[in-house]
Chain A
Amino acid sequence: MAKRLVKLNVNGKDHALVVESTDRLLDVLRDRLDLRGVKEGCGTGDCGACTVIMEGQLVNSCLVLAVQARDRRITTIEGVGAREKLHPIQKAVMKYNATQCGFCIPAMVLAGKNLLDHNPTPSRDAVKEAISGILCRCTGYYKLIDAIQEAADELRRVKV
């Protein structure tokens, strides 16, 4: 084991951290940067609860070492919207009561946001595909899909 200095840009803020070479990005985000919206479910890449956006791509932060994320831009749920100014997906998730236990929701919102960042007019199938790596064990998928689609409409209205 060796310690390494890594620079990360998380939610627009630069961090320089000394990490063990075997530390997972998930643990660094939660325990060092106190970003507790990043959840650990399975720890093996199956559930997607630890999803973050890294350089415009969804990744499971349990499968990425902190050293592999060096010099990358990372967005967690804490970097999406603000308490006073929610992201349209967050608003729509509330409107549709799309949360049940809430454990998968940070990942679901990030997956929706990443989709809309790349594709402002997604089909219903594209929304399903975008969130397909994240498991909801309360089985609340339909309301989440509705919410992401409504947010897409809302974002388009705002832009026009």
Chain B
Amino acid sequence: MYAKNLLDLSGLAELRYVRREEGKVKIGALATIADLEQQNGNSVWCKVLNNVAEKFGSPNIRSIATVGGNICSAASSEDLIPVFLVLGADVKAIRKGGTREIPLRDFLIDKRKTALDAGEILAEVNFPEPSALAVCSFQKLGMRNTLIIAVVSLAAFLEVDETDSKIAWARIALNRLRGKIPERAESVEKELLGQKLDQPTIETAAEALGKTVSLTSDSRASADYRREAVKVLLRRALVECQGAILRK
């Protein structure tokens, strides 16, 4: 016997879904990572969820690992959390006789600690359906591609104004921070606002992220190594966003 106390939720089929409703994308806590991988569509949220799923664990893991499980693990290494943070996600917690919605960033309190109360379970993560102008990128650096806990992962979400080509909305989130839970890099987000998404802007943002971010040192990498890595990942993310805008 390996588990002393375990409540198996996997029979709750009603918590396994990915659907669009009331201007939101709603994902049930029991949707598997394979479910995200199999989302068909050209929308920005489909593409980024496909992308994070393909870099997640291995096919064997993706078939049983759930979205709710990854979020509730609330560890710095979780890959879904930076993506949901930049998508502006809320989570829905349910308990007998009640439901509440909490912004994901408030749901994550500390390493392996969430805002869930006793008797509550995570039921859903949802986010506003991104506009036609939105672009998004997820970047993960690991020592190999499969079955790897990231050295660092980073997600970027941008909206660029069609008329003046300036960045109207920017969100960047990353993991492996000293705070032990994934968070947004708000000072860099602010610097991007009103800028044109060109090479100098990308370089400035990458350098700014390297300067401001407080990263952790552990057995996988030192904070100094991670500092160089996050600059590269932000560059890659913004270059990918640039390409996506050109293709629109």
| Cα–Cα distance between A48 and B63 once the two chains are bound (Å) | 13
Contact A58 B60 (CB under 8 A): yes
B64 pairs with A133, CB closer than 8 A: no
Tell me which of A22, A45, A57 contacts B3 (CB under 8 A).
Answer: A22
Asked if A63 and B58 sit within 8 Å, CB to CB, the answer is no
Question: Chain B: interface secondary structure?
Answer: loop
In the assembled complex, the Cα of A24 lies from the Cα of B6 at a distance in Å of 13
Contact B8 A60 (CB under 8 A): no
Which B residues are in CB contact (< 8 Å) with A149?
none
Interface residues of B in 33-86 (CB under 8 A from A): 34, 57-61, 63-64
- CB-CB under 8 A from A65, the residues of chain B are 3, 6, 8
Q: CB-CB < 8 A to A64: which residues of B?
A: 64
Q: In which size bucket is the chain A interface? A: 20 to 34
How far in angstroms is the closest Cβ of chain A from B184?
30
Provide the A60-76 mask, 1 if CB < 8 A to any CB of B, else 0: 10011101100000000
B8/A68 in contact, CB under 8 A: yes
* B61:A45 contact, CB within 8 angstroms: yes
Beta-carbon contact of A20 and B1 below 8 Å: yes
- Quote the shortest CB–CB distance from B5 to chain A (angstroms): 10
User: Within 8 Å of chain A (Cβ to Cβ): is B145?
Assistant: yes
CA distance A5 to B40 in the complex (A): 38
Interface hits, B170-184 → A, CB 8 Å: none
Verify A58–B63 contact, CB threshold 8 A: yes
- Residues on B with C-beta less than 8 A from A134 are 58, 60
Asked whether, in the complex, the Cβ of A133 is within 8 Å of the Cβ of B147, the reply is yes
Is the interface on chain B under 10, 10 to 19, 20 to 34, or 35 or more residues? 10 to 19
B63 touches A57 (CB 8 A): yes
Contact A68 B10 (CB under 8 A): yes
Pairwise interchain contact B1-A60, C-beta atoms closer than 8 A:
no
Residues in chain A near residue B145, CB distance under 8 A: 132
Decide if A48 touches B60 in the complex (CB within 8 Å).
yes
A153 close to chain B: CB less than 8 A = no
Of B1, B59, B64, B147, which is within 8 A of A46 by CB? B147
Q: Name the CB-closest residue of B to A111.
A: B59
Within 8 A of A (CB), among B1-15: 1-3, 6, 8, 10
A145 at the interface (CB under 8 A from B): no
Report if A45-B60 is in contact (Cβ < 8 Å); known contacts: A22-B3, A24-B2, A57-B34: yes
Closest 8 CB pairs of A and B: A133-B58, A133-B60, A57-B63, A132-B146, A58-B60, A22-B1, A60-B60, A22-B3
Q: List, sorted by A's number, 24 A–B pairs whose CB atoms are closer than 8 Å.
A: A20-B1, A22-B2, A23-B1, A24-B2, A48-B58, A51-B60, A57-B34, A58-B60, A58-B63, A59-B60, A59-B63, A59-B64, A60-B60, A63-B64, A64-B64, A68-B8, A68-B10, A132-B58, A132-B145, A132-B146, A133-B57, A133-B59, A133-B61, A134-B58
**Which residues of chain A have a CB within 8 Å of any CB of chain B?**
1, 20-24, 45-46, 48, 51, 54, 57-60, 63-65, 67-68, 111, 129-130, 132-134
